[in-house]
Amino acid sequence: MLESLKAEAYEANLALPRHGLINLTFGNASAIDRSRGIFAIKPSGVAYADLKPADMVLVDLDGKQVEGALRPSSDTPTHRRLFLAFPEIGGVVHTHSSHATSFAQAGREIPIFGTTHADYFAGNVPVTRKLTPAEIAGGAYEWETGNVIVELFSQLALDPADYPAVLVNRHAPFTWGKTVAKAVEVAVATECIAHMALMSLALSPALAPIEPELLAKHFKRKHGPGAYYGQPGGNC
Amino acid sequence: MLESLKAEAYEANLALPRHGLINLTFGNASAIDRSRGIFAIKPSGVAYADLKPADMVLVDLDGKQVEGALRPSSDTPTHRRLFLAFPEIGGVVHTHSSHATSFAQAGREIPIFGTTHADYFAGNVPVTRKLTPAEIAGGAYEWETGNVIVELFSQLALDPADYPAVLVNRHAPFTWGKTVAKAVEVAVATECIAHMALMSLALSPALAPIEPELLAKHFKRKHGPGAYYGQPGGNC
Amino acid sequence: MLESLKAEAYEANLALPRHGLINLTFGNASAIDRSRGIFAIKPSGVAYADLKPADMVLVDLDGKQVEGALRPSSDTPTHRRLFLAFPEIGGVVHTHSSHATSFAQAGREIPIFGTTHADYFAGNVPVTRKLTPAEIAGGAYEWETGNVIVELFSQLALDPADYPAVLVNRHAPFTWGKTVAKAVEVAVATECIAHMALMSLALSPALAPIEPELLAKHFKRKHGPGAYYGQPGGNC
Amino acid sequence: MLESLKAEAYEANLALPRHGLINLTFGNASAIDRSRGIFAIKPSGVAYADLKPADMVLVDLDGKQVEGALRPSSDTPTHRRLFLAFPEIGGVVHTHSSHATSFAQAGREIPIFGTTHADYFAGNVPVTRKLTPAEIAGGAYEWETGNVIVELFSQLALDPADYPAVLVNRHAPFTWGKTVAKAVEVAVATECIAHMALMSLALSPALAPIEPELLAKHFKRKHGPGAYYGQPGGNC
**How would DSSP label each residue in C94-151?**
EE--HHHHHHHHHT--B---SHHHHTT-SSPBPBPPPPPHHHHHSS-HHHHHHHHHHH
Rounded to whole angstroms, how far apart are CA atoms D191 and C100?
A: 16
Buried b / exposed e along C51-68 (16+ C-beta atoms within 10 A):
bebebbbbbeeeeeeeeb
For chain C, list the contacting chains (3+ Cβ pairs, <8 Å).
A, D
pLDDT in tens, D100-147: 999 999 999 999 999 999 999 999 999 999 999 999 999 999 999 999
Residue B119 CB neighbour total at 10 angstroms: 20
For residue D199, pLDDT beyond 90: yes
Q: Residue B203 is nearest to which of D103, D136, D137, comparing CB atoms?
A: D103
pLDDT of residue B229: 76
Backbone angles phi, psi at D184, to 5 degrees: -65, -45
> Kindly report the CA angle at A11 between A55 and A27, in degrees rounded to 5?
75
* Binding partners of D (≥3 Cβ pairs within 8 A): B, C
| Region C61-68 average pLDDT | 97
Q: What percent of chain A has pLDDT over 90?
A: 86
| Residue B75 pLDDT level (bands cut at 50, 70, 90) | very high
Range in A91-100, B143-152, C226-235 the model is least confident about: C226-235
- Which residue in the set B116, B119, B199 is minimally distant from D198, CB to CB? B199
ipTM value for the complex: 0.93
State yes or no: pLDDT of B232 exceeds 70: no
Query: Which run of H or E residues covers position B167?
Result: strand B165-167
Element (H, E) at D23: none
For chain B, give the percent of residues with pLDDT over 70: 98
pLDDT at D160 over 70: yes
- Share above pLDDT 90 across residues of chain B, in percent, rounded to a whole number: 87
Rg (CA), chain C: 17
**Torsion angles phi and psi, residue C6, rounded to 5:** -65, -40
Out of C45, C136, C201, closest to residue D234 by CB? C45
**Chain A positions in Cβ-Cβ contact with residue C184 (cut-off 8 Å):** none
Per-residue model confidence (pLDDT) at position A164: 98
- pLDDT 10s digits, B39-67: 999 999 888 889 999 999 999 999 999 99
Looking at residue A232, its pLDDT comes to 64
Q: What predicted TM-score, i.e. pTM, was given to this entire model?
A: 0.95
Identify the pLDDT of residue A10: 98
Q: Tell me the helix, strand and coil percentages in chain D, rounded to 5.
A: 40, 15, 40
CA distance B62 to chain D (A): 35
Q: What does the pLDDT read at residue C168?
A: 98
Neighbours of chain A (3+ CB pairs under 8 A): B, C
D232 burial level (CB within 10 Å; 0-12, 13-18, 19+): exposed
pLDDT of residue B49: 86
**Pick among B120, B190, B196 to test the D interface (most D CBs inside 10 A):** B196
Residues in chain B: 236
> Are the CB atoms for D91 and D182 separated by under 8 Å?
yes
Give the mean pLDDT of chain D.
94
C103–D203: do the CB atoms touch at under 8 Å?
yes
Closest CA to B92 of B205, B9, B209, B212: B9
Kindly list the strands in the beta sheet with D57-60, ordered across the sheet, starting from the edge strand earlier in the chain: D65-67, D57-60, D38-41, D27-33, D91-95, D173-177, D165-167
For the annotated catalytic residues of B, the residue numbers are 119, 229
The model's pLDDT over D161-173, given as tens digits with 9 standing for 90+, comes to: 999 999 999 999 9
Give the per-residue pLDDT at A36. 97
pLDDT tens-place string over residues C148-166: 999 999 999 999 999 999 9
How far is it, in rounded angstroms, from Cα D83 to Cα D185?
18
pLDDT tier, A162 (very low <50, low <70, confident <90, very high otherwise): very high
Neighbours of B86 (CB within 10 A): 18
Q: What average pLDDT is seen over chain C?
A: 94
pLDDT tens for residues A31-57?
A: 999 999 999 999 998 888 899 999 999
Q: Output the CA angle A17-A23-A28, nearest 5 degrees.
A: 65
Q: Supply the DSSP symbol for B174.
A: E
Contacting residues of A for B23, CB less than 8 Å apart: 188-189, 192
Give the contacts of A96 (CB within 8 A, at least 6 positions apart): A22, A23, A26, A27, A172, C116, C192
pLDDT tens digits along C181-215: 999 999 999 999 999 999 999 999 999 999 999 99
Taking contacts as CB-CB distances below 8 angstroms, the residues of chain C near D221 are 74, 141
Rounded to an integer, the average pLDDT of B123-138 is 97
pLDDT at A99: 97
pLDDT-derived band at C232 (thresholds 50, 70, 90) equals: low
Cβ-defined contact of C171 to D113 (cutoff 8 Å): no
Shortest CB distance from C236 goes to which of A45, A105, A107? A45
Distance, CA of B59 to CA of B68 (rounded, Å):
9
Give the pLDDT score at D232: 64
Mean pLDDT lowest among A25-29, A49-53, C171-175: A25-29
What average pLDDT does the segment B109-130 reach?
97
In one-letter notation, the amino acid at residue B109 is E
Among C91-95, C217-221, D204-208, the minimum mean pLDDT is found in: C217-221
Q: Is the pLDDT of residue D233 over 80?
A: no
Cross-strand partners of A113: none
Cα atoms found within 13 Å of the Cα of residue C108, Cβ hemisphere only = 21
Q: How far is D144 from chain B (nearest CA, A)?
A: 12
Q: Give the chain B residue whose CA is nearest to the CA of A235.
A: B45
Enumerate the residues of chain A whose CB falls inside 8 A of the CB of residue C189.
23-24
CA distance A20 to chain C (A): 12
